[in-house]
Structure 1
Amino acid sequence: MIVTRNLAQQLRDRLKKSPAIAILGPRQVGKTTLAKQLEDHYIYLDMENPRDIAKLQDAYTFLENLEDQTVIIDEVQLLPELFSLLRPLIDAKRTPGRFILLGSASPELVKGVSESLAGRISYNELSPIGLTELPKSIGYEEHWFRGGFPESLLSETGDLSKAWIDDFIVSYVERDLAKMFGVDLAPTLLRNFWSMLAHLNGNLFNGESFARSLGVSAPTVNRYLDFLEGGYLIRRLQPLFVNAKKRLVKSPKTYIRDTGILHRLLNIPSYNELFGNPAIGASWEGYVIEQIYQLKTKQTELFFYRTQTGAECDLVLVQGIKPLACIEIKLSNAPTVSKGFISCAKDLEPKYKYIITPKSETYKTSNEITVTNLEHFLVKIFPEIQ
């Protein structure tokens, strides 16, 4: 089944202007498939393939001889010295579309990457398949439960989907993260930490508490969190500070970005079982936030807002220093407006106020809050307000 990715046209446009583009995202998210769809003729090199690595023994000469072709380099973070070689190659001939670099690690955590190609490369993040990219045969319920990784989402059966995610989790814990960043990681510690993050999905992150539970230091916990975030597996949602008169929460929230992974870490066997699990509210909240993240523009930043007295807004869209929208995320399709949300909206004075649900109709409450379902918000509302 072919899935058309929202990012595809943007990448084609950037290939016409930039000598190099990078497609970043977690492993197995579809970066290679997408890259090969962008160009009809290309040279493909995989930095996990010994034969391709051998071709780059004299990398400068090899790549210089391919100056009139598009070269796709996969898992490029495994050979970070390539970045310093690409700089003079690009400067010698700044032809658009020379290189497509694919990486599974945040460039900020790969030594020398950000500095080497500054001004010469366009960075683009490919997330798991989003709600607005789904084939018509797949509904939001299946997407929410299985997550957006192609091999999981498009599996013929639920058992095959779960088996793929289980293998994915094991490979990340035992091999992938350490290899991507060139560091030593303790697999048991990493697995336990990842599972703890799943059980506390959507909660404030307290590094000291995690450290005590895991029997390690707080710097070690923060280091592991950085690697999980740098591998595009978790997201930190930062708090918004705009009201100096109130005591505000200052710790970030953490979310497992893909709900399919979240549900396997929590050992939830089916969509029906999800509804009997106390984690369902946080799962839906994280799912909504991730779908909004995938479609936001660079001008829009995402935060949450919470006072020390407990008033909270699940999501605040900000442009510049001005709150654009306050959003409350509800699992109920007949939601009530909480006093805390009204209090937060009064503090922040956003232009828009929304409650997002799974399937409700779109209407306005007496408080001038728009209630709508997630798909309608993503397709009709979000593009108009950004």
Structure 2
Amino acid sequence: MKHSLFRALPLWSFDDSLADLSSPMIWITGPRQVGKTFLARQLDASYFNWDTPEVRRAYLQDPYFFRTEKKLVVFDEIQKRRDWKKILKGYYDSPSRRENFIITGSGRMDQYKKAGESLQGRYDLFHLWPLTLDEISHKKQQQIPASPRNWQNWTPTSDSISDESLIKLGGFPKPFLNGSEKKLRRWQDQYLDRLVREDIRDYSTVHRLDQLDLLARLLPERVGSPISYLSLAEDIEASTVGIKTWIRLFETLYLGFLIRPYHRKIHRAIKKEPKWYFYQWTFVQESAARFENFIAVQLATACQAWSEQGYGRWELFYLRDQDRREVDFLICHDLRPIALVEAKLSLQSWPTSLMYYCRKLSIPGFLVYAGDDKSPVSRKENLGWILPSCRFLSGLILKI
């Protein structure tokens, strides 16, 4: 399999911050092996990986070892140093500073407990997510949706590429480009093992790594359903408090993310239990749940992109009430409902729950199913569309 990859996210964020040199420090964070180092190496910058002994020795000999003719400096994995925020604060506040910095890492760098100094107000934070259909197809977006009316008038494009390989191989560049499901399975085992045995040790003092490993391998079976902390606690023989703490830790290290229920103005809405989704949806073996996870990542990426581009606060929720009406995803702009999305593995009729909430919230809905660009597309009265995921996702994020 041959694909030309261009990691457009979050390069678009540099238009206003890096290009104008108005932001002296930019952080790029995201999952391990998602392409942050590759992205950073495409820039005309001096690159230093703080996870290597050479860079650590250079720092001990000269704290300003990075100074060269280049004015842009990339620090990769500096957050693994205990005093990394103090180091960056010193560089930023130095009267002799002439460099701009890009900081990359595979943890939520603004949450690291080992940090001793605050960097609040000194950086712009951007995220690199797994591959999107836009990135592998180079499709451009017409306009960032900003209101229900824009979504209501949206028409699927007739030109799109298949997302089958993306669903099958996941959105991490290495296994996707390898194009082999055998290599993918080996990569996944190594990825989980390294995250549990190495990354968590760098971040936390958790001692029950066997329980953490078991939790990571049980979560794929829970994708698509509200998390039952009690059930997981019983399976792992841990406390519910411990399960919640460990899931937050997995969030911090970008193994996955939580989508919470939306309950504003929703009568008898479920308010507490979030749903868990993996950044690498291929961890999920069951086909329908994997497809839902794939759509979750694509939509969450879009919400993050629109927020970082300055279009307001975009968030992803799900809907569920005590009458068992449920819709997989609700896109909100500044907490205002914008669009509903239901993910199905195959073409189906319009769900009653989707119809109910489209009418109740007066917003469009989209029944998105796994298909190709030749699969049927239909309009559901004035409520929304039934269409294959490749048609729905094409042009979702990237601007013209």
Q: TM-score, normalised by structure 2?
A: 0.82
- Cα deviation for residue 127 of structure 1 reads 1.4
- CA gap 1:383/1:45 in 2 versus in 1, 3 angstroms: closer
Rounded Cα–Cα distance in structure 2 between residues aligned with 1:94 and 1:173: 41
> Is 1:257–1:290's contact at 8 Å kept on the other side of the alignment?
yes
1:55 and 2:58 matched: yes
Rounded Cα–Cα distance in structure 2 between residues aligned with 1:237 and 1:225: 13
> Is 1:19–1:95's contact at 8 Å kept on the other side of the alignment?
no
1:235 and 2:247 matched: no
How far does the alpha carbon of each residue in 1:310-329 deviate from its partner, in whole angstroms, 9 at most, with x for none? 00111111112321111111
- CA gap 1:239/1:3 in 2 versus in 1, 3 angstroms: same
> Is 2:255–2:278's contact at 8 Å kept on the other side of the alignment?
yes
How far does the alpha carbon of each residue in 1:209-233 deviate from its partner, in whole angstroms, 9 at most, with x for none? 2112111111211111011111111
- CA gap 1:245/1:149 in 2 versus in 1, 3 angstroms: closer
SS in 2 for 1:310: coil
Name the residue aligned to 2:215.
193
Rounded Cα–Cα distance in structure 2 between residues aligned with 1:261 and 1:46: 29
Rounded Cα–Cα distance in structure 1 between residues aligned with 2:113 and 2:68: 26
How far does the alpha carbon of each residue in 1:32-51 deviate from its partner, in whole angstroms, 9 at most, with x for none? 11101022x41x22222122
> Is 1:356–1:377's contact at 8 Å kept on the other side of the alignment?
yes
Name the residue aligned to 1:341.
354
- Cα deviation for residue 290 of structure 1 reads 0.5
> Is 2:327–2:353's contact at 8 Å kept on the other side of the alignment?
yes
| 366-375 or 206-215, which deviates more | 366-375
> Is 1:314–1:329's contact at 8 Å kept on the other side of the alignment?
yes
- CA gap 1:115/1:307 in 2 versus in 1, 3 angstroms: farther
Rounded Cα–Cα distance in structure 2 between residues aligned with 1:5 and 1:52: 26
How far does the alpha carbon of each residue in 1:287-331 deviate from its partner, in whole angstroms, 9 at most, with x for none? 011112212211321100100110011111111232111111122
Rounded Cα–Cα distance in structure 2 between residues aligned with 1:135 and 1:5: 11
Name the residue aligned to 1:373.
388
> Is 1:330–1:355's contact at 8 Å kept on the other side of the alignment?
yes
- Cα deviation for residue 358 of structure 1 reads 2.2
Rounded Cα–Cα distance in structure 2 between residues aligned with 1:135 and 1:371: 22
- Cα deviation for residue 193 of structure 1 reads 0.4
- Cα deviation for residue 66 of structure 1 reads 5.0
Rounded Cα–Cα distance in structure 2 between residues aligned with 1:372 and 1:378: 10
Q: TM-score, normalised by structure 1?
A: 0.85
2:11 pairs with one of 9, 17, 32: 9
Name the residue aligned to 1:251.
273
Identical aligned residues as a percent? 25
Rounded Cα–Cα distance in structure 2 between residues aligned with 1:371 and 1:328: 10
- Cα deviation for residue 94 of structure 1 reads 9.2
- Cα deviation for residue 72 of structure 1 reads 1.6
Rounded Cα–Cα distance in structure 2 between residues aligned with 1:94 and 1:377: 50
- Cα deviation for residue 58 of structure 1 reads 6.0
- Cα deviation for residue 88 of structure 1 reads 3.6
* RMSD value, Cα: 2.6
Q: Which amino acid aligns with 1:259?
A: W
Name the residue aligned to 2:30.
25
Rounded Cα–Cα distance in structure 1 between residues aligned with 2:278 and 2:236: 19
More helix, by proportion: 1
1:124 and 2:137 matched: no
Name the residue aligned to 1:326.
340
- CA gap 1:159/1:247 in 2 versus in 1, 3 angstroms: closer
Higher relative contact order (CA 8 A, sep 6+): 2
Name the residue aligned to 1:266.
none
Name the residue aligned to 1:221.
243
- Cα deviation for residue 171 of structure 1 reads 1.6
Q: Which amino acid aligns with 1:22?
A: W
Q: Which amino acid aligns with 1:344?
A: Y
Rounded Cα–Cα distance in structure 2 between residues aligned with 1:156 and 1:260: 13
> Is 2:358–2:383's contact at 8 Å kept on the other side of the alignment?
no
| 324-333 or 181-190, which deviates more | 181-190
| 201-210 or 365-374, which deviates more | 365-374
Rounded Cα–Cα distance in structure 2 between residues aligned with 1:30 and 1:375: 23
Q: Which amino acid aligns with 1:255?
A: Y
> Is 2:86–2:117's contact at 8 Å kept on the other side of the alignment?
no
Rounded Cα–Cα distance in structure 2 between residues aligned with 1:109 and 1:146: 30
1:162 and 2:169 matched: no
- Cα deviation for residue 160 of structure 1 reads 2.2
- Cα deviation for residue 377 of structure 1 reads 2.0
Rounded Cα–Cα distance in structure 2 between residues aligned with 1:96 and 1:238: 43
Q: Which consecutive residues of structure 2, in runs of 5 or more, have no partner in the other structure?
A: 139-160, 308-312
> Is 1:32–1:102's contact at 8 Å kept on the other side of the alignment?
yes
Name the residue aligned to 2:104.
102
How far does the alpha carbon of each residue in 1:171-230 deviate from its partner, in whole angstroms, 9 at most, with x for none? 222222222x14234332112101111111111112222112111111211111011111
How far does the alpha carbon of each residue in 1:71-128 deviate from its partner, in whole angstroms, 9 at most, with x for none? 2211122014122232242233597862111111112430375962222211111112
Rounded Cα–Cα distance in structure 2 between residues aligned with 1:68 and 1:156: 37
SS in 1 for 2:273: coil
Rounded Cα–Cα distance in structure 1 between residues aligned with 2:87 and 2:396: 45
Rounded Cα–Cα distance in structure 2 between residues aligned with 1:381 and 1:29: 20
- CA gap 1:308/1:94 in 2 versus in 1, 3 angstroms: farther
- CA gap 1:347/1:242 in 2 versus in 1, 3 angstroms: farther
Q: Which consecutive residues of structure 1, in runs of 5 or more, have no partner in the other structure?
A: 264-278
Q: Which amino acid aligns with 2:299?
A: I
SS in 2 for 1:57: helix
Name the residue aligned to 1:291.
298
- Cα deviation for residue 132 of structure 1 reads 1.8
- Cα deviation for residue 158 of structure 1 reads 2.8
- CA gap 1:26/1:53 in 2 versus in 1, 3 angstroms: same
- Cα deviation for residue 59 of structure 1 reads 6.2
Rounded Cα–Cα distance in structure 2 between residues aligned with 1:60 and 1:7: 31
Rounded Cα–Cα distance in structure 2 between residues aligned with 1:104 and 1:75: 7
